[in-house]
Structure 1
Amino acid sequence: MTSEEHIFTTGPDPIPHDAPAAPSAVARPDTTAEIDVTAVEQKLSDPGSTQSFPAIAPERIDTESTYDAGTSTSLMWGARSDVGCVRTHNEDSYLVQSPLFCVCDGMGGHAAGEVASSIAVETIAKLAPQEADPARLAAAVEAANAAVIEAADNGLGKPGMGCTATVAYIEGTSLAIAHVGDSRAYLLHEGTLIRVTHDHSYVEELVDAGEITADEARIHPNRSVITRALGSDPAMHADHFQLNIEEGDRLILCSDGLSSMIPDAEIEAVATQSPTAQLCTDNLVDAALAAGGGDNVTVVVVDVVDDGRMRDLVRRRRRNLLVGLAGIVVALVAACCIGAFIIMNSLFLGVYDGRVAIYTGVPESFLGIDLYRLYDETAISIGDLPADTQNRLQEGIGQSSMDEARATLSSYREQIAADRTRAEENAAAIEGSTTDTANDTDEPQAQDAATNAEGGDA
């Protein structure tokens, strides 16, 4: 993207970035195009560099993760920006704040494009979420748009300055993307390069309409007309979405200084043949320069990797999980064995076919399975026992040993025998009482009969 060629729309008609701003009714020092370049350069930590924004607060991230190349437990990245072979200054900025990555391509000319891209990167770094949330990532980009507009209103940079923004946040297997403009995000998955962003440009609309091909769009005379960018419209919105990624995937963020110089097929070839993220970054930038380097070239490459520490951590966690599960299994087996031992060595008296019986186990069931079995039957009918004893036998009367069980059965027999003896004695007593009563009744009748006989003789 160049300050001389790139155009983005702020209304119905595209406006060249380097066109002079329309004079206002009352010229004010803070709104005219006459700016103090020295002051602007002092405000920027390194004019024209790719990291021309204030350092990220140390409490925000680990400072080591802001280097242009590095690695974490799951990511490896490389970043590079080059002024190119034609331009005299670099308007691109990029952000490497793992797992947050961003490329911004500035527009507006010297001391403007780089201001816009730097402000955008700084704002996104401060406001980006701490998770792969595409909606909140888009909100950070939209806040950067407001910051660029406000900076121009306050005399920093130039009126009409702007930039693109392609932002990625990687969390585990989730990739969140927020995007505005014609910078791009590619995903290399299993050797196949996929462009995951859609350019907000005039030629992209022609490609979508089928009027030109993607290769024709790269050399189209209006390829620099941008239909959406930061700094152009306060109501600008960012595209945002989320993708699933896997170990071995490679993410490529780039300004159009790469995509406008070499076709996607060549980007794919370079990306598949480069073993590391930094080598891939260097090879892509070198390829763009070899093709002419007509614009600033900025590339950020992020590999989803496993550097060994994550594998060790996963292995330890898996081992701990297996040890824990094994402990649980052992405890359950031990509990089952103890329970089975207790059940097999338990006794109780119950009822079988209307008679008292001896059972091993406990008078319970588990999942429809009886935890007892019949050990021995007796001839003792529960009908010969007291009602309370019958109810207890129906529920099961626990016994501490077989001797106790047999002693209890003996006591039942003795009780039944005593009850029968008592019943027989009662029956005999009742029968004897009946006989005596009958004898007493027969004696007066005999006396009456004798008296009657004597009277007859007389």
Structure 2
Amino acid sequence: MLLRAGVASDRGLVRQTNEDSFLVRTGLYAVCDGMGGARGGEVASQMACQALLGLEPPEVDEERLREAIAAANEAIVKRSLAEAHLAGMGTTLTVAVAGEGGFLIGHVGDSRAYLLHDGKLQQLTADHSWVGEMLRRGEITEAEAAIHPHRSIITRALGTDTSVQPDLFFVPFGPGDRLLLCSDGLSGMVSDEDIAELLGLPEDPQGVAEALVRAAVAAGGEDNVTVVVVVGQEQEETTEEAGQSASGSEADDILLGPLDRGAEQVAQSRTRRPLMAWQRLRGASTGGQPTPGPEAAEVAGRLPRATFTRRRVIVAAIVIVAIVVLLGGFVAFNSSVYYVGTYEGMVALYQGLPGSVLGIELSSVVEIGEVPYESLAPYLKERVDAHDLLSKEQGRAFLKTLGTLQ
């Protein structure tokens, strides 16, 4: 049986960088979703994929895969401790290693592996997330899990602890089957029904991968999205073209990505645009136009002073009204938002915006949790430090969630 693969990745419509990584090599496929501020998530996901390069399918058993995942975890932990700007970084990992009659799957986190067999989609992996565990315990429904405000809180990841416990299992795979590895940027935006429909398209794996990513972006693109699609074909059905990966590289080549690590250039272009626009406006006001001569200045000097006075009064009144309206709107908005921070070493819920203006704090504590900040896992500290704006209900739910994770 010949394996053909396609891969696609996109940073989405919200994120400024792509912290996902993937690995595609004949018989070895992986998707990692990094986390950890600055460039930490990107570094962690890349390190995890690179740590798998020593695996040589099909001579890989559970013990060898477990060792490779443990080595990746150890490397990420050591680097995060050694480099302060990478502190708290981590990543999910979902890897598929081809063997006799199927794939050996290794899984940590909330990225996913799916199998499409005889037109039916099966989720192979279990999400290592707080919401996923509640779902498995029957405490919430799938519909509630899909919109839960803390569905992104994961309970297992590489790099967040000195030890890691991956799920390892074997999945039969034959001609006509399709394997999908994806970050939660796909599963969080596209329903399983739509994933099944797109995964079953009569296209090559690259076309399917791109269609899945487009669907996630079209649905809102709230997160980075990365997919790897693997298709099994009978050897006699293949052609020379089929002997290549869907990206156009030879089957023995290694694809390690994503391919669009252009976040810095994008960020620079975005920060320059306002300046360039201002320069164009400034040039349009004087450049290429005659400067006012003495006649114009003389005419201006003869205008009645009362005209300028009235205009100044009108402008001042408009400015005052605008300031009052803006202040009223700001006060109303500030009282409607909340965020999670710390108070005397404890995780707490604040009302208002983080920070201060002219020495006046814009927020105040409304509820102090029962969990010490220092007891949190690094990825949870990151969420607290981010000061993301929440509703009051979301903030309280987060405090409650932290209590259950201790």
| TM-score normalised to structure 1 length | 0.50
User: In 2 relative to 1, CA 281–274 (structure 1 residues): closer, same or farther, beyond 3 Å?
Assistant: farther
Consecutive unaligned residues of structure 1, counting only runs of 5 or more, are: 1-72, 313-458
Do the aligned residues in 2 keep the contact of 1:128 with 1:140 (CA within 8 Å)?
Answer: no
Consecutive unaligned residues of structure 2, counting only runs of 5 or more, are: 241-406
Is 1:137 the counterpart of 2:65 in the alignment? yes
- Give me the whole-angstrom Cα distance separating, in 2, the residues matched to 1:173 and 1:130: 10
1:217, CA displacement in angstroms? 1.3
Letter in 2 for 1:271: L
Is 1:285 the counterpart of 2:213 in the alignment? yes
Q: 1:264 aligns with which of 173, 192, 196?
A: 192
- 1:167 alignment partner in structure 2: 95
- Give me the whole-angstrom Cα distance separating, in 1, the residues matched to 2:138 and 2:115: 24
Do the aligned residues in 2 keep the contact of 1:180 with 1:239 (CA within 8 Å)?
Answer: yes
- Give me the whole-angstrom Cα distance separating, in 2, the residues matched to 1:213 and 1:278: 34
Do the aligned residues in 2 keep the contact of 1:100 with 1:167 (CA within 8 Å)?
Answer: yes
2:47 match: secondary structure: helix
Q: Any idea what the Cα deviations from partners look like across 1:172-225, whole Å, max 9, x if unmatched? A: 412100000000000000100000001100011111111222232121101011
Is 1:252 the counterpart of 2:252 in the alignment? no
1:96 match: secondary structure: strand
Q: 1:182 aligns with which of 101, 107, 110?
A: 110
User: In 2 relative to 1, CA 202–307 (structure 1 residues): closer, same or farther, beyond 3 Å?
Assistant: same
Greater RCO structure (CA 8 Å; 6+ sep): 2
Letter in 1 for 2:62: P
Q: Any idea what the Cα deviations from partners look like across 1:339-378, whole Å, max 9, x if unmatched? A: xxxxxxxxxxxxxxxxxxxxxxxxxxxxxxxxxxxxxxxx
1:275, CA displacement in angstroms? 2.2
- Give me the whole-angstrom Cα distance separating, in 2, the residues matched to 1:138 and 1:255: 21
- Give me the whole-angstrom Cα distance separating, in 2, the residues matched to 1:272 and 1:171: 23
Do the aligned residues in 2 keep the contact of 1:184 with 1:199 (CA within 8 Å)?
Answer: yes
Q: 1:106 aligns with which of 34, 49, 65?
A: 34
Do the aligned residues in 1 keep the contact of 2:178 with 2:231 (CA within 8 Å)?
Answer: yes
Letter in 1 for 2:4: M
- Give me the whole-angstrom Cα distance separating, in 1, the residues matched to 2:214 and 2:4: 20
- 1:208 alignment partner in structure 2: 136
- Give me the whole-angstrom Cα distance separating, in 2, the residues matched to 1:172 and 1:127: 15
- 1:86 alignment partner in structure 2: 14
- Give me the whole-angstrom Cα distance separating, in 2, the residues matched to 1:77 and 1:216: 34
User: In 2 relative to 1, CA 261–293 (structure 1 residues): closer, same or farther, beyond 3 Å?
Assistant: same
Q: Any idea what the Cα deviations from partners look like across 1:238-261, whole Å, max 9, x if unmatched? A: 110112111110000000000000
- Give me the whole-angstrom Cα distance separating, in 2, the residues matched to 1:186 and 1:192: 10
1:89, CA displacement in angstroms? 0.4
Is 1:199 the counterpart of 2:199 in the alignment? no
1:134, CA displacement in angstroms? 2.9
- Give me the whole-angstrom Cα distance separating, in 2, the residues matched to 1:258 and 1:87: 14
Q: Any idea what the Cα deviations from partners look like across 1:89-133, whole Å, max 9, x if unmatched? A: 000000001110000000002211000001111111125665242
Do the aligned residues in 2 keep the contact of 1:91 with 1:110 (CA within 8 Å)?
Answer: no
- Give me the whole-angstrom Cα distance separating, in 1, the residues matched to 2:213 and 2:229: 11
Letter in 1 for 2:27: P
1:156, CA displacement in angstroms? 7.1
> What RMSD in Å do the two structures reach over aligned CA positions?
1.9
- 2:161 alignment partner in structure 1: 233
Do the aligned residues in 2 keep the contact of 1:215 with 1:263 (CA within 8 Å)?
Answer: no
1:304, CA displacement in angstroms? 0.8
- 1:147 alignment partner in structure 2: 75
1:307, CA displacement in angstroms? 4.7
- Give me the whole-angstrom Cα distance separating, in 1, the residues matched to 2:117 and 2:81: 43
- Give me the whole-angstrom Cα distance separating, in 2, the residues matched to 1:250 and 1:305: 10
Q: Percent identity?
A: 48
2:39 match: secondary structure: coil
Q: Which has the larger radius of gyration?
A: 1
| TM-score normalised to structure 2 length | 0.57
1:295, CA displacement in angstroms? 0.2
- Give me the whole-angstrom Cα distance separating, in 2, the residues matched to 1:82 and 1:152: 25
Q: Any idea what the Cα deviations from partners look like across 1:397-433, whole Å, max 9, x if unmatched? A: xxxxxxxxxxxxxxxxxxxxxxxxxxxxxxxxxxxxx
